[in-house]
Amino acid sequence: LMLFEDTVIVPNDQRGPARIVALDKHTGDLRWSTLRLQREVSYATPIVVPDANGDPQLICVSGRMGITSLDPYSGTMNWQTRSFPLRTVASPVYGAGLLIASCGQGGRYGVEQIAVDINGDLGEDGLAKIVWQRKKVIPYVPTPIVYKGHLYEWSDEGIVACVELKTGKDIWTERIGGNYSGSPLCIDGKIYCVSESGDVQVVAASPEFKHFGTTPLGDPSNSTPAVANGRLFLRSFHRLACLEAQQ
C-alpha cells in the first residue's frame, strides 16, 4: 500500500476478486474502488508521478494488466500497456519521462522489463507504446534504481548492471555475488544492497563500475536499507544496525 496526500491506496491484484481501493487516512472510509482483471498475485508497490501538465498519475503494475495509470483522486483509468507474461514483484520506477517495470518467476530471475513514455501516444490497439524492452539482467524481487540518466539493475542472483535509461542498453554488467531479496538504495552516488547472507555490498552509481567493498552484518537479511534523519538503517533477522552520516 502507499500514502497519497490524505488517502491510503491499497492495490489488491490477485488470483481472485481483484481491485484497487482508496481509503481516507483519518477515518478509513472508502473514497473509490476500481475493479482489476485478475491473474496471479502482484507484490509491486504503486508510485505516483506527474504527467506533462503536472497532474499526478497513480502507477500500478500486475502481470495481467501490465503497467496502468490511474487518476489517484477517482481511480479512473488513464492508460495501460499490454499484459506481462508472468507476475510482477519488483515495484515500478520512473525517470526522464519513462516508467520501467518488470516481471519474473520462481528461480530467482526476471524475464522481461519494459519502459513506456508516460506522456507518449497510444498505439492502434489503445495500449501505451513500449519504448524499449530488456530480457536479461533483470531483477525479479529487488526494485531497480534510477539515478542521473541511468537505470541500475541489481538481480536476485547478485548481477548488477548500469543501463542507459533512454535506450535500455547496457553500459556495464558485473557479478557481485550472493542472493538478494531486498532492494538496493542509492545515497550520494553510492548504491547499497544487503544480501540474504547479511553482506552489505556498495557500488558506485556511475557509468564507470566501481565496487567499494563488502561489510558483513553477521546475520542473515531479506530487508531493504532505510534512510532517516541522516542515518542509514540496516536490518537483519535479529539485529538493527544504524550508521550516521559523516558531517
What is the per-residue pLDDT across 90-109, written as a single tens digit (0 to 9) for each?
A: 999 999 999 999 999 876 68
Of 140, 35, 124, nearest in space to 84 by CA: 140
Residue 124 clears pLDDT 90, i.e. is over it:
no
Could you tell me the three cell numbers for 56? 499526478
Residue 121 banded pLDDT, cuts 50, 70, 90: confident
pLDDT at position 235: 95
pLDDT at position 247: 60
User: From CA 39, how far away is CA 62, in angstroms rounded?
Assistant: 9
Strand partners, 204: 190
Amino acid at 231: R
User: From CA 226, how far away is CA 50, in angstroms rounded?
Assistant: 25
Dihedral sign (CA 208, 112, 71, 40): negative
Residue 122 banded pLDDT, cuts 50, 70, 90: confident
C-alpha triplet 207, 210, 215: angle, nearest 5° = 140
Residue 69 clears pLDDT 70, i.e. is over it:
yes
238-247 average pLDDT score: 85
Residue 7 banded pLDDT, cuts 50, 70, 90: very high
37-66 average pLDDT score: 95
Answer with the residue of higher pLDDT: 1 or 112.
112
What is the per-residue pLDDT across 127-177, written as a single tens digit (0 to 9) for each?
A: 999 999 999 999 999 999 999 999 999 999 999 999 999 999 999 999 999
- The distance between the two most distant Cα atoms of the chain, rounded to a whole number of Å, is 55
Average pLDDT taken over every residue of the chain: 95
pLDDT at position 123: 84
